Structures are given as structure tokens and as C-alpha cells.
Amino acid sequence: MNNPPNKNLTNLPTPLTSFVGRKQELANLKILLKNTRLLTLTGIGGVGKTRLALHLAKEVLGSFDQGVWLVELAALTEPTLVEQSIAEALGLKEGPYQPLLSTLVDFLEPKKILLILDNCEHLIYECARLCQTLLNHCSNLKILATSREGVGIIGETSWQTPPLSLPPRFKVSSVQDGPFKDLTGSEVVQLLVERARAVQPDFEIGPHNSRAIAQICQGLDGIPLALELAAARMRSLEVEQIALRLENGFELFKDGNRTALPRQQTLRNLIDWSYNLLTEREKVVLRRLSVFKDSFGLIAAEEITSGSFSAITGQGLIETKEILDLISQLLNKSLLYLERNNPSNFPLEKSQARYQLLETIRQYSWEKLVEAGEEKNRTG
């Protein structure tokens, strides 16, 4: 078998742009990685899971004697290629008389290595099987995974990657054509401004555009990829024009990285990828939940989402008793967020969990609801 290159003990790429914010997240993740053997960064597409994982990996590189190795799975379409991709990242080849999985186990078993499995969601069952096998047989191995849902094996620590933060208690309505100092310390604003300077080197935040910047950052939910697409639009539009067109964001934000995978080039493609991985019943519930512009409780969700629906294979029915499990799946797949201990105006729900759709997901799901011809039958 071949040995991996030892020059740098890593195949991590050199970033082309700066890493913004996430200091507290990185500190927390270092502790989690120290105390678990499988750490999965979950979250909606574009929230920055890969970038955060790579930055974390570089900071802990010195803790792994035989290095940190990235396995990129995003472009794979066949589960059988996952083993091969891991082997290629490690510089291994399958022997003539030994299965490739056995070769991987033999190589990894004595070594202290961090393996990064990036973008597992579309190959989740194969990734789960491999993680379980490798961790069972390789006592010094740690795995850092990124996925829109957890790998789902015993011993996994799953950590949901949050959007970049806005200032506490931030409201766009409070940003006037004057004070804007509260914005400049925000991670999400820092990212937008920095990426804007890539297309407008003299771009600055000031009294003339602070409100528009705030609207963009909040309207795009602090999702880094969406903010980068917005910044790219500044080649042809002023920031104020972009802010006014946020409701048409799926048509507006199409100017992405030409070398990125198609699903990462536009805002619509980004969410299409996650939506298309859902089951038919999960799709129905997600699009019906789009009627809620604010957070909602389980009882309201049950009332709005249960009932019959049209499917490719014929009519279907979602019963009230199924809604909790379907909501749980949407939470697992990072298309829905849980708000804990957030009292509502309804006394019966004061101690109950409440759920929230990010605005970009809500707008997309509403489009799907309209396409299905259901918007007139659902009220939030």
C-alpha cells in the first residue's frame, strides 16, 4: 500500500478569502472535538459548515501526528465511491487480494488522524456505515463531518452551525440614516462589507447605506453564501437597490462562483438541493409551514399541515399524529429551527417548543405551496 505524502501532513486547501467571525464557535468546537470521535457540523446549505470545519481543522492540525485529511464528497453521486474517495485522500490504492475497506482499516488503525468527510447528506447511509466501521476498528481515529443532517450513529456529537450573528436585539427599524456603530461589530455585516470590497474596493458602511446593509443581512438570515451572492451583485447594483429587491432574491442572486458546484452558484439552487433530498411527505409539511411568518407551536403546525395532498403516485394523506415526526425530520435536516423556552401569546403553548423557518426557506417553501395550488387552503 502507498503511504500518504508527509510534507505537510494535510491536504487542506489554501483559502482564497478571509475567515470572518466564529471565534466563540471555534472555541466550543475545539472542546467538542477533543471529547468525541465523530463530530458532525450540521446546518442549512450555505451556512458555512465546510469553511468552519476547514478552519477548525487547521487550528487543531498539530494535535494529529499523522495529519488531517479532507475527503470531498459533494460531487459524488454513487455511495460506492465514498470508500474510494477516502483512499484517494490518504494516498492509498486497493490491493489485489484485499477489499478497499480492509485496506483503509489496516492503514488507519495505528495512526492518530483527523478525517474530514465534507458534504455527507446525499450519501448519508454509506457515510454512517463507514464511520461506524472505521471508528470501531481504529481507536486513534477522529472524524469531522459536515452534513445537512447528522450521520446518525452511536457516539456522534452533532452540532448545528448557526448563521452569522446580528447584534443582540437588532431591528432594521432601529437603524436610521445616522448612527451605525452597532452594525460594524457584527459578524454578518463584516462579511458582507469585506466581500463587497472584492467587487467595489472603496466600499464603506456609513450613514448613507447602513439601513440597506442591515436589511440585506437580516433578509438573508445571516447565511454566508447568500451574503456572498449579494455582494457579487454589487458589480451592477447599489446596495440600496439590492435591499429593495430582496423579495425577489431567488431571481436576483444568480451571479455565483463559476467553479463551484451548480447547487452552490445560486440561492435557488442552494435550497433546491436540500428540498429535493426530502421525502414527499416532508416536502408537503415544509411548504405548508411557509404560511407562518413568525414562530409557531406544534398544535398550530398540526392544524395547518395535516390533511390530503397530491403526489406523483396518487393521493396521499398526512395524519395529525405524523406531524411531530415529520417536523423532527425537518429539524434534523436543518430546514427548520427550534426555539426553546420562547413563550407565545397563547397560554396553552407557553411551555412548549416553538419552531421557526428562516425567511429564505419560508419564501422558497411558499413558492412551492403556490405551485402545488394549496395557498388558498392554508392560513397561518
pLDDT in tens, the chain (380 residues): 444 434 568 999 988 888 888 999 999 999 999 999 999 999 988 899 999 999 999 999 999 999 999 999 998 989 999 999 999 999 998 777 789 999 999 999 999 999 999 999 999 999 999 999 999 999 999 999 999 999 999 999 999 998 887 755 455 555 554 445 567 678 888 899 899 999 889 888 888 888 888 888 888 888 898 898 888 888 888 889 888 888 776 767 665 555 555 565 677 888 888 898 899 999 999 999 999 988 899 999 999 898 877 665 556 788 888 899 999 999 999 899 888 654 545 555 455 789 999 888 998 999 899 988 877 665 54
| Single-letter residue type at 46 | G
pLDDT at 64: 94
Question: Which pLDDT value is given to residue 32?
Answer: 97
C-alpha cell at 120: 455527507
> Amino acid letter at 171?
K
Number of Cβ within 10 Å of residue 110's Cβ equals 11
Q: Which residue has the cell 398540526?
A: 302
CA-CA-CA-CA torsion for 199, 204, 208, 214, nearest 10 degrees? Answer: 80
Q: What is the pLDDT of residue 210?
A: 83
Query: How far apart are alpha carbons 61 and 365 in whole angstroms?
Result: 40
Instruction: Please check whether residue 187 is in contact with residue 24, taking contact to mean a CB–CB distance below 8 angstroms.
Output: no
User: What per-residue confidence (pLDDT) applies to 327?
Assistant: 93
Would you state the torsion angle of the CA atoms of residues 186, 248, 207, 197, taken in this order, to the nearest 10 degrees? 60
Residue limits of CATH 1.10.10.10 in the chain:
278-377
pLDDT, residue 6, reads: 45
Q: What is the pLDDT of residue 220?
A: 87
- Three-class secondary structure of residue 303 per DSSP: helix
Residues of the chain with CATH 3.40.50.300: 23-160
Closest CA to 304 of 365, 358, 253: 365
CA angle 334, 277, 285 (to 5 degrees): 65
- Say what the pLDDT of residue 4 is: 45
Residues in the chain: 380
Coil, strand or helix at 54: helix
Look up the CATH architecture of domain 278-377: Orthogonal Bundle (1.10)
Bridge partners of residue 117, in order along the sequence: 71, 145
3-state DSSP helix/strand/coil % of the chain, to nearest 5? 45, 10, 40
Cβ-based burial of 14 (10 A; exposed 0-12, middle 13-18, buried ≥19): exposed
Please name which of 187, 184, 233, 229 lies closest in space to residue 207, comparing C-alpha atoms: 184
SS3 of 311-348: the string is ECCEEEEECHHHHHHHHHHHHHCCCCEEECCCCCCCHH
d(C-alpha 268, C-alpha 253), whole Å: 8
Q: Which candidate, 176, 173, 233, 245, places its Cα nearest to that of 203?
A: 233
CATH fold of the domain at 23-160: Rossmann fold (3.40.50)
**What is the model's pLDDT at position 63?**
93
Phi, psi of 70 (to 5 degrees): -95, 130
